[in-house]
Amino acid sequence: MALTQPMKREVLNLARAYIRRALRVDDVIPEIHEPELAHPAGCFVSLHSLNNHRLRGCVGRIDASQPLKIALESASKSVLEDPRFSKSPITPEELAWLSIEVSVLSPPRPALTPLDFKLDEGIYLTYGNRSGCFLPQVAEETGWTREQLLDRLCTEKMGLPATTWRQPQAVLHVFSVDVIGPEPFETSVPGPIGKQPGHH
């Protein structure tokens, strides 16, 4: 799916509106104009702190089983419930000090081997009933090698030994990502925009 500038603007504004509504800040959802938002796509919504770039939430879905507008609404609501931040949930007052980023995903495709991916691609690993994914921003921000990415994916996202990806039963899928943003959540608030070193 080719993302035009108007579509990117609409996606970000819709994500903002869904988050505001979930936080009971505002109930107005902009009218959808871009027809591509009805096309199936996976997406993730990420929120970071403006002043120190720390991750404050990153939630989404990989599969393209829903129209992008539906997946975007779901991810925008769910990013406020990221279980990693259940003890310090995002408040309405915090929105002015956050940046927002939306990642629109291509349908995942199977890799021939677990190392058959480029560092600018997202990865989704399954092993038995466990699964985990990294967006390509993780490799860019950390500088990790393919092996390091897979090791950390197993331990941090799947709760398994680092070498699990080397097992014959491990299956890797890869996907490309169009990243929209990051930019301040409240566009009238100045602040530094940077890339956060944590993991999506």
Distance from C-alpha of 73 to C-alpha of 53, rounded to nearest angstrom: 24
Average pLDDT of the chain?
91
Nearest to 75, CA basis, from 39, 107, 95, 47: 47
Q: What's the topology of domain 5-106+177-184?
A: Glycoprotein, Type 4 Pilin (3.30.700)
Q: List the chain domain ranges.
A: 5-106+177-184, 109-174
pLDDT at 191 over 70: no
32 contacts 61 by C-beta, under 8 angstroms: no
Q: 114-144 burial, b for 16+ CB within 10 Å, e for fewer? A: beebeeebbbbbebeeeebbbbbbbbebeeb
What would the pLDDT profile of 12-28 be if each residue is shown by its tens digit?
999 999 999 999 999 89
Question: Residue 178 CB: number of other CB atoms within 10 A?
Answer: 17
Nearest to 113, CA basis, from 84, 150, 70: 150
pLDDT at 142 over 50: yes
Angle value at C-alpha 176, between 106 and 74, nearest 5 degrees: 50
Q: What's the topology of domain 109-174?
A: Dna Ligase; domain 1 (3.30.1490)
What would the pLDDT profile of 103-132 be if each residue is shown by its tens digit?
999 999 999 999 999 999 999 999 999 999
What pLDDT, on a 0 to 100 scale, did the predictor assign at position 200?
52
Token pair belonging to 152: 């950390």
